Structure 1
Amino acid sequence: MKLGRNDLCWCGSNKKYKSCHLTFDEKIADFEEQGAMVPSRDMIKTPEQIEGIRKAGKINTMILDQLQPYVKEGVTTEELDQLVNKFTKELGGIAAPLGYQGYPKSVCTSINEVVCHGIPHPKRKLVSGDIVNIDVSTIVDGYYGDSSRMYLIGEVSEEKRKLVEVTKECLELGVKEVKPWSFLGDVGYVINEHAKKHGYTVVREIGGHGVGIEFHEEPWVSHIGQRGTDILLVPGMIFTIEPMVNMGKADVIQDEEDGWTIYTEDGMPSAQWEYMLLVTETGVEVLAH
């Protein structure tokens, strides 16, 4: 429905459209007329939604902070899952992965050649030399937070350590590209270029995603891109950047038995870091890390 200048704005501010989002919407329309892919209104969060998502992101970060001392040699991934469940409940949240499309656990634990969606298991202990990604997603008051971190267990080889460090650098470079009235392709471009510079490859099939009202929303975030392409970034958009960087080839395979675990096809290690981000009027705010 087209709003009149004196109608209440669509964002819920209770201000008139002309003094709230009219100029903003006109700017988006100008980009669209020039051929740009632009976000639909449901990709742009209202101030009330942003506040709720910000709280969910804060609690998601707190869960990862509380988990940190337990991620060490000898602990099982099942024990980590139980801890995430416990911390989530204590902080007033719900573990978003549990039961999501049939996923059986509260967290994803992806070790070495597992790219993502690794399922915690009572017999899989973390051992010296492992690198592990722990991906936490939390529902708080109906809003979603989502982020992940890498951990080095015991004595890790220099090759694996470098992979983890460079992947973090890829993420941070991507975050710097998130600014209003730029393009999502800029993010994928710098991530892929930095990975390639170090002799690594970036997973193509799996990317980041819009998040906040649902677990996974539009836009899909590719970690390989070209500058000035893909969707226009505007204030109020919330999405994750979560590059999966492989030491070997980019090809991945899915476990046919469990239907979830994604491995590198060549069995070489993979690393991933994930932040949840808000595009602001002046740049970017990290909502979960």
Structure 2
Amino acid sequence: MMRVRTDLGDDVGIELHGPDGAPAVLFVQGAGLDRAENPVPSETARLLAARGFRAAVPDRLGRGDSPASGPVERERELVAIAAVAAALGGPVVLVGHSSGCALAMLAAGRIPELAGLVLWEAPLGQFAEGAPRWWDGVHRAIDQGDLEGAIVRYMVGMPPEWIDVLRASPQFPALVHSWIPDGTALAEVEARSPGAFLADLPAPVLAVVGTETFPGMPEAAAALAAAAGNGTAEEMPGAWHEWEPAAMADRLARLLAETAR
């Protein structure tokens, strides 16, 4: 474990794998539970370390080893991502998962040694009323203290059993406070368009979907790749919003090797 204190006073707990100074991957998880309850990024990080690369899996603010009481605003999360990237001390590939893709897109410009941006199943263009209106409804429920209602609103269109998993967590329903950065970022990216964040990014952008995924995800990945100055859309083994660790580790290792060259 490593801890990083941000300029805004937040303490971030980070699971760290691999040698100091090696090109690194920084996972930006989406809305959900803490990293201990989603082993996929950690397993991917261990596989990358075995290939000689570095990988960091932080807990998002307000979860697990990154405690933060009450609502977490987007700026605090972006500052935390940049602080962890700086602490890695070398080239960094950001890997966003789900709504974490929007946060990774907003954070990318704050990382001087950004070596790549990998976006796994970004849920852009997935809301019938558009992300800004969807987020207005979720945020209104949070402001009114209806935290469970906010979670249900946030997860519109997702399998209902996913909400049952969240209900089993001792963090439920307050964990929705840590989702505020996600919703805010998704609304901003849709309102301004992905190109506003990706078109001038010099680092390669890889938009990825699993072989089994939700309707609309391949189209979203293609749109992100087209919006980037150096973008590619790919499919890799994975199902229902999670990648297969070995496949993702192999792809990230190739990207990091290209960066090292």
Question: TM-score scaled by structure 2?
Answer: 0.29
Larger radius of gyration: 1
Higher helix share: 2
Question: TM-score scaled by structure 1?
Answer: 0.27
